[in-house]
Amino acid sequence: MRREHHAARLTRSRPGAAPGPALLAVLLAVVLLTLTAVPSGADGEPTVTSSTGGEAALSSGAGGDAYDAKGGGGFREAAARAVRAHEKAREKVERLRKSDARRAKVDAAERRRKAIRSRLWNLLRAAERGAGDPVAVDASGRDGHCPVRRRGHSLRHRTGGSWTAPTRGYWLSAGYAARGTRWAHRHTGQDFAVPTRTPVRAVGPGTVRATTCGDGFGNQVVVRHRDGYFTQYAHLSRIDVRVGDRVSPGTRLGLSGATGNVTGPHLHFEVRITPYIGSAVAPLPWLRRKDVRLTK
Ligand SMILES: [Zn+2]
C-alpha cells in the first residue's frame, strides 16, 4: 500500500492546491481500494482528499461549548444531515448482520456507510480548518503548548477489559442537544459535573488522535476507537497522554478542570463520527451500546 501512503502525503502537504488529473485518478483508485479492502472489525480513517469547499465562507470561530453556534452557514446543516444519514446507515448494517443477511448485502450497506463518513470527514476537515478547529489545525497540541505529561512517564495500558464511564463521582449536568445560554445552537456533548482534578479515563480501547489546548474546549483529548468512532474529553486541567498513545478502557487521559469556555468545573464528553467538531452523535445511547450504564 505504498501508493496509498504516497497519495495521502501528497494531498496533506498541499492542502489548498487543486489536485491534477493524475492525482485524482490515484485518489479514486485509493478510495476504491480502501472501500473494498478494509478488513472487517477495524474501521480505518478515510483517505483525506483536498477540498476547496467551505473555507472562504467561514468566520473564525472560537468557543468549545459555543462552537456549534459559530461559523454558521450551510455546511453545519449539511454535516448534521450527513451525521443522521451515517447513523441510519450504521443501524442498517447492524440489522443486516444480526439477521444473517447475505455477505454481499452487508458489504454494500457497509460501503455506503463508509462513503457517507468519508464525505462528512472531508467536509468538516476543510470547514473546521477555516474555522480554526484546533483538532483540524494542529492535532498534536504542540502549537498550543499543551500541558502534556513528560516523556518517559509510562501509561498504564492493558489489553481487554470492558468499556467504562469517562469519570467517577459525577452527576450528569447538561445533556446532548440541550439548549442553553452557553450554546446559541445545541449542546454537542454530555457534561459530567465533577470537581477539578478528578481522573478522566478513556471509555474504551483506542489511540490518542489529538491533544489540543487554548481554545473554547480548553485542554482536550480526542481518542480514536476501533469501530471508527471518536471520543472527546474537554476542559481538562491536565493532559496525561500524547498523540499516538494506545489506551485501554479506564486509562487515565488527564484530570478534569474548568479550562476553556465554561461556567464551572466539569468534563465535556462527546462521541463523534470524525475527529472534528460537527460530527457528534448522542453519547449516552452510544455508551449503552457498549454496555456502559451511567448513574444519573
Ligand atoms: Zn459541554
Quote the ligand 1 centre to 65 CA distance (angstroms). 5
Predicted pLDDT at 1 = 34
Residues 156-188: tens digit of each pLDDT = 656 668 999 999 999 999 889 887 766 557 889
Quote the ligand 1 centre to 1 CA distance (angstroms). 40
Bridge partner list, 246: 207
Quote the ligand 1 centre to 189 CA distance (angstroms). 5
Residue 154 has pLDDT above 70, yes or no: no
Residue 9 has pLDDT above 80, yes or no: no
For the chain, what percent of residues have pLDDT higher than 90?
55
Distance in angstroms (rounded) separating the CA atoms of residues 47 and 37 = 13
Quote the ligand 1 centre to 130 CA distance (angstroms). 23
Instruction: Please tell me the pTM assigned to this model.
Output: 0.77
Of 13 and 243, the structure prediction assigns the larger pLDDT to 243
Please give all residues whose CB falls under 5 A of ion ligand 1, grouped by chain where several chains appear: 65, 189, 191, 268
Quote the ligand 1 centre to 157 CA distance (angstroms). 27
Task: Give the confidence band of 99 by pLDDT, cuts at 50, 70, 90.
Answer: very high
Distance in angstroms (rounded) separating the CA atoms of residues 80 and 103 = 30
Quote the ligand 1 centre to 271 CA distance (angstroms). 12
* Cβ-based burial of 93 (10 A; exposed 0-12, middle 13-18, buried ≥19): buried
Quote the ligand 1 centre to 188 CA distance (angstroms). 7
* Cβ-based burial of 126 (10 A; exposed 0-12, middle 13-18, buried ≥19): buried
Quote the ligand 1 centre to 268 CA distance (angstroms). 4
What CATH code would you report for 171-289?
2.70.70.10
Quote the ligand 1 centre to 142 CA distance (angstroms). 24
Of 46 and 251, the structure prediction assigns the larger pLDDT to 251
Quote the ligand 1 centre to 186 CA distance (angstroms). 10
Question: Cα(first)–Cα(last) distance of the chain, in Å?
Answer: 47
Where in the chain is CATH 2.70.70.10? 171-289
